[in-house]
Each structure stands twice: as C-alpha cells, then as structure tokens.
Amino acid sequence: MINIINNSITLFLIVALWNIINISVVTAAPSYPVQKFRIDIYNTNQNINASGDYLIIDTQNGKEAEKWTLNYLGPGLFNIVNSSNGQLLSANSQNVFLAKNKNIVNQQWKIEGVQKDIDGYYLYYKISSNLDDSKVLTFNNGKGFSITEYSGSNYQKFKLNLDGLEGFAANCKTNTGEKAGTIGGLLGETVFVSTANQLEAELKTLVPKKQLSLPQILIWKKISHPYS
C-alpha cells in the first residue's frame, strides 16, 4: 500500500521518482483489510460498543465490539459497520440501533470535523444522519444514544481513534494541549490501481478536500513504469 499524506512536496517527489526509476512493488489483494477504529465519546474514557442490536458504552477493552469500519459511499458519506457482528449503525427519527445492511438512507452517515487540536487537525467529529443531516449521533448520559438536532454539545462530538495506533501518532495529551490521533486515509476513498498509468493519474488527482481525508492507493498487480 502507498500511503499518501496531505503534503504537496511529498506528492511532487513521488511523481518525480516515478519518472526516473523502475519501481517494483509488493502488490495488495483487492480484499485488502479495512482500517478498524474506535468511536470515543468527547473527552471521556468511554467509547461506543455494540451489544446485540444496541449501542452501549465501555472503557477501551480490545474487543471487536468496540471496533468499527467504514464503507465509503461517496465524499464524506459512509456506512459505519461494527466489527463484531457486521451490522450497520442505523437510525430512525429519534433512535439509533444496529441492523443488517439494507442499502437504505437511514444507514448512511456523514462524518465532519467540528473541533481541532493544538496542531490544527480535527480532534472531534460530528456524525450526522443522511436521513436528516440536521440530526446527529448523540450520547445521552444514563440513557444511551439517539439522534438529535446538532447544538454543538460535547456529547455530540466524537474522536476517531485507529485500532492499534500507539505513541505520539495516537491521540495523546501534551504540555500544550491535546493532539488528535492520526487517521490517515480513513475518511477517504480506497482506490485500486493495476497499471502505471492508473497510478500516475491517481497521484495527480490527490487534491485535499474540505474536512475529508485523501484516498488510499492500493496496488494489486505488479506494475512497471512504461518508460523503463
């Protein structure tokens, strides 16, 4: 996998090197595993877990019930899938629950940054329903979860912390404030390429977009530069 970061100099160097050397790569299968992450509730030590069809809270426990993945549907639009049971975060007019994938709008969510960390990267996100994007995932202390009108309440803000990420790359507190964990291409599209021309085209289209991550590019066939 080639991880592309939000840095125009890095992109320039990659394209420049591509033009002068023959790159041999280790290929990734089209079924490349997706990134798992936790959904942490504001500045608490609690995160969202699945329990059957319901959402509950717990401290970090390492279980699959606290891990989630995203199905990319379009820019900023996702299915949110629990790793323990494959069920999707779903909503109706007020309630939030888990259900099998039905390919319907109430299982589609927008994830947008709402508050940044000390370095200017998003620390907190709101998760709004595509059924009605004025309503967002909300934690009601002692009452579970629902979707309510977005007010900027702390319990409508969530951290996205990648599973397995540790050290300074992870969410941590410093002497000057809190730093968001790196999320890489979590919110971007995963693009598969199998030719040099496809790779070059995708590299050249990596333009940062508002509140979105850049795509991940996965090479799933061994390719050589056409001019080598």
pLDDT tens digits, 179-199:
999 998 899 877 777 788 877
Parent domain of 63: 37-179
Specify whether 128 is located in the same domain as 211: no
Residue 198 DSSP one-character state: H
198 and 214 inside one domain: yes
Q: Which of 193, 221, 194 is nearest to 205 (CA)?
A: 193
- Same domain for 68 and 164, yes or no, is yes
Q: Do residues 100 and 132 share a domain?
A: yes
DSSP 211-224: T-PPPEEEE-S---
Residues 72 and 132 in one domain: yes
- Is 19 inside a domain boundary? yes
**Is 165 contained in some domain?**
yes
Q: Are both 19 and 97 inside the same structural domain?
A: no
Looking at every residue in the chain, the average pLDDT score rounds to: 82
What's phi and psi for 93, nearest 5 deg? Answer: -65, -30
User: Each residue of 150-177: pLDDT tens digit?
Assistant: 999 999 999 999 999 988 899 999 999 9
Q: Are 209 and 75 in contact (CB under 8 A)?
A: yes
- Considering the domain boundaries, does residue 203 fall inside one? yes
Considering the domain boundaries, does residue 224 fall inside one? no
Choose among 4, 5, 64: nearest CA to 37: 64
Q: Are residues 75 and 128 in the same domain?
A: yes
Whole-prediction pTM = 0.78
pLDDT at 151: 97
**Do both 23 and 71 map to the same domain?**
no
Exposure string of 58-87, with b = 16+ CB inside 10 Å and e = fewer, is: eeeeeeebbbbbbebbeebebbbbbbeeeb
Residue 104 lies in a domain: yes
Q: Comparing 79 with 168, which gets the higher pLDDT?
A: 79
**For residue 45, what pLDDT is reported?**
95
Euclidean distance between CA atoms 155 and 7, whole angstroms? 33
Q: Is the pLDDT of residue 4 over 70?
A: no
Give the domain CATH number at 100.
2.80.10.50
> Could you tell me the two tokens for 190?
């995963």
Q: Residue 90 CB: number of other CB atoms within 10 A?
A: 23
Q: Is residue 225 part of a domain?
A: no
How many independent structural domains does the chain possess? 2
Q: Do residues 203 and 223 make contact, with C-beta atoms less than 8 angstroms apart?
A: no
User: Would 105 be classed as within a structural domain?
Assistant: yes
> Distance between alpha carbon 95 and the CA centroid of its chain, in Å?
23
